Amino acid sequence: MAETVRVAVSGAAGRMGRAVVRAVCAQADLQLVAAFGRERGVGQDAGVLAGLSPLGVSVQPHTEVGSLAGRADVLVEFSVGDGAMANALRAAEAGVRPVVGATGYTRESLEALRAACAHYRLGGLVAPNFALGAVLLMRFSEQAARYFAHAEVVELHHDRKRDAPSGTALRTAELIARGRGAPPPATVAEEEKVAGARGGVHEGVRVHSVRLPGLVAHQEVLFGGPGQVLSLRHDAFSEECFLPGVLLAVRRVGGLRELVVGLEHLLN
């Protein structure tokens, strides 16, 4: 019989956090042992917030993440930006493996978490996207870039998303750059009639961000070549698509010995 993994959820009062609580509680080999949040939800039962029966696990302030030492194996972190990374750092310092789904953090906070995991000899995961389809899209984009040097990324999200481009789009651009090497030379001297009309550039790859009500999370990668265009697209319509990837990470992060970026590191 598999050993039970003790799980804490940070951001437990948010939409994604509540979904993770429900998913963890539905697994026989996982046990919810703690929940954390900002002012909203603190003091309330995490199960009730998630639409379940009371679990006897009250949402605590984020500042209490360090109290997890000896009580949890994994912290699933779905807060925002550098705040999420600060919580993950507290978890690592308490000997708890972080599984982070936040975007919008700085490179400095990521490196601080990487150093902490190395110091405490812990595995950890930071994933810009937990949807398995999105992870495969990124992997396929890296492969396609070996044959199609001309590529642009278009990401589309709901109008409540704060960071642009998305973490998934940035990671996709990095993988495209890794797959193709140096970007191809420009064919003309471009002139933008409106600043930003051609999007931003990350690792030599143009990235375009769309924010509209009605969207959830979508990304298309366009590759152009002589006489042909290759389009790779992923559409996420609800938080349910992220849960299989989160559960995969919770179960497999214990097999890591360092912090890695990208769920693809846990795929066979």
Residues whose CB is less than 8 angstroms from the CB of residue 39 and which lie 6 or more positions away in sequence, other chains included: none
Cα torsion 56, 60, 65, 69 to 10°: value is -30
Tokens of 213: 């009500």
Catalytic residue, chosen from 62, 119, 150, 157, is 157
Catalytic residue, chosen from 62, 119, 158, 161, is 161
One-letter amino acid at 104 equals: G
Active site residue 193: no
Beta strands in 11-69 (DSSP E): 30-37, 59-61
Closest-CA residue to 95 (of 6, 35, 25): 6
Active site residue 202: no
In angstroms, rounded to a whole number, what is the distance separating the alpha carbons of residues 232 and 192?
26
Cβ count within 10 A of residue 221: 27
Q: What is the CB-side half-sphere exposure of residue 91 using CA atoms within 13 A?
A: 33
Q: What is the CB-side half-sphere exposure of residue 78 using CA atoms within 13 A?
A: 21
Which residues participate in catalysis according to the annotation?
157, 161
